[in-house]
C-alpha cells in the first residue's frame, strides 16, 4: 500500500513508519517539525520505500499518484508542547484533520486518526470504556488539546457518515519508549532524565494519581491492526495495568540505580486523577493486547536515553 502519514517525525509516528515499511508498504512521511525531529527518521533516509515531505497539514495537501491510506498523527502531544502551541494544536486537530480527510476522500483511501485518552478528561468512569463521553473542561488550559482531538473525532465520523469513508479512530493512552523527547514534560522522560542525573524526581501532588503505560511497539501493533479493521468507532489502545505515579517513580529509580528521592509540586489544573483503559473492544475486535512488561520496556527506554546522553557528551567534547 502507498500510505501518507502526518506527524511522521514524532515519537509514535516514526515507530509506525518503521513498522509499515517492515511490512512492505510505501510511506510518505509528512511533518512541519514543530515538535517532531528529523533525528527520528534519519535511519530511513536511504530506505527505498520512504519519502519525506516537510509540510504543515493545516494547509491543503496534494499528493501525486495513488494513495491507499492516510494516517493522521500530527499534533503536539505533551502538555509542555500544546500549552506552548495552543492555537497550532487546535488548528491541526481541526483544519489539519479536514485537509487529510479530504486527501483520503479524493483518493478513495482509508483514514486513521490518532486520537487520545484525553477525550475522557478527568474521568468519572473507571476504567474508561469507549462508550464513556468524558468529563472535560472545554475552557481549561488543557482544552486546546482535548477539544482539538474531540473535534477531530467528530469530523472523522462526519466524513464516514456523509461520504462512506473507511475511517478508524484510535484513543491512545500513555505510551512510552525510545525517541521520546527528554524535555517534553511527560512523566516517563522526566522521571528518567532526573533519575539519570541524580536529581530528585518531581512528583505533582502526593503521587497517588494513577496512569497506565504502554510500550511503543505494542501501541504501533494496535494501530496497524486497527487500520486494517472494519471498526469505525473509537477503540482504546493502551495498557490496562494501572499504577500510581509514586509507584512508577520508584520503579524508574530502581531500574536506573538512582536513590529514590522525590520532590512534590502542586498538581496542574485539570490533571486527571485516574487513567486506565478498558481494552475489551481491542481484544475482541483486533485480537490485540499489550505484551511488553513495564520493566522490559523501561530498560529499553532508559538505555536509549543513556546512549543519547553519552553521544551528546561525545559531540560536545
* 3 state SS of 6: strand
Give the pLDDT confidence score for residue 186 in this predicted structure: 87
Give the pLDDT confidence score for residue 271 in this predicted structure: 74
Give the pLDDT confidence score for residue 270 in this predicted structure: 66
Told to judge if 145 belongs to the known catalytic residues of this protein, a careful annotator would answer yes
Look at residues 155, 189, 312 and name the one whose alpha carbon lies nearest to residue 147: 155
CATH number of 2-178+214-240: 3.40.50.720
Give the pLDDT confidence score for residue 315 in this predicted structure: 35
Identify the active-site residue in 85, 120, 145, 176.
Answer: 145
Give the pLDDT confidence score for residue 183 in this predicted structure: 80
The domains of the chain are located at: 2-178+214-240
- Let me know if 28 is exposed, middle or buried by CB neighbors in 10 A (0-12, 13-18, 19+): buried
With a cut of 70, list the residues of the chain below it in pLDDT: 270, 309-317
Give the pLDDT confidence score for residue 314 in this predicted structure: 39
Give the pLDDT confidence score for residue 311 in this predicted structure: 56
Amino acid at each position: 500500500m502507498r500510505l501518507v502519514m502526518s506527524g511522521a517525525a514524532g515519537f509514535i509516528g516514526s515507530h509506525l513508519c518503521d513498522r509499515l515499511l517492515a511490512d512492505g508498504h510505501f510511506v510518505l512521511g509528512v511533518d512541519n517539525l514543530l515538535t517532531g525531529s528529523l533525528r527520528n527518521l534519519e535511519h530511513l533516509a536511504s530506505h527505498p520505500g520512504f519519502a519525506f515531505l516537510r509540510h504543515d497539514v493545516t494547509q491543503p495537501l496534494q499528493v501525486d499518484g495513488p494513495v491507499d491510506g492516510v494516517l493522521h498523527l500530527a499534533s503536539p502531544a505533551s502538555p509542555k508542547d500544546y500549552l506552548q502551541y495552543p492555537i497550532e494544536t487546535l488548528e491541526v486537530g481541526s483544519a489539519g484533520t479536514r485537509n487529510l480527510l479530504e486527501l483520503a476522500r479524493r483518493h478513495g483511501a482509508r483514514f486513521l486518526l490518532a486520537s487520545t485518552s484525553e477525550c475522557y478528561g478527568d474521568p468519572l468512569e473507571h476504567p474508561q470504556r469507549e462508550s464513556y463521553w468524558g468529563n472535560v473542561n472545554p475552557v481549561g488550559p488543557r482544552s486546546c488539546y482535548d477539544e482539538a482531538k474531540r473535534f477531530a473525532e467528530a469530523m472523522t465520523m462526519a466524513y464516514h457518515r456523509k461520504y462512506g469513508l473507511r475511517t478508524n479512530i484510535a484513543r491512545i493512552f500513555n505510551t512510552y519508549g525510545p525517541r521520546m523527547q527528554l524535555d517534553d514534560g511527560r512523566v516517563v522522560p522526566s522521571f528518567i532524565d532526573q533519575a539519570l542525573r541524580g536529581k530528585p524526581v518531581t512528583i505533582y501532588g502526593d503521587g497517588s494519581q494513577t496512569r497506565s503505560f504502554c510500550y511503543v511497539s505494542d501501541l504501533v501493533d494496535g494501530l496497524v491492526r486497527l487500520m486494517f479493521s472494519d471498526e469505525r468507532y473509537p477503540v482504546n489502545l493502551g495498557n490496562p495495568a494501572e499504577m500510581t505515579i509514586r509507584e512508577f517513580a520508584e520503579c524508574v529509580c530502581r531500574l536506573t540505580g538512582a536513590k529514590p528521592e522525590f520532590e512534590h509540586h502542586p498538581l496542574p489544573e485539570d490533571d486527571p486523577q485516574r487513567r486506565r483503559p478498558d481494552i475489551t473492544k481491542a481484544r475482541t475486535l483486533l485480537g490485540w493486547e499489550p505484551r511488553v512488561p513495564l520493566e522490559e520496556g523501561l530498560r529499553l527506554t532508559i538505555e536509549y536515553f543513556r546512549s543519547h546522553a553519552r553521544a551528546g557528551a561525545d559531540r560536545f567534547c
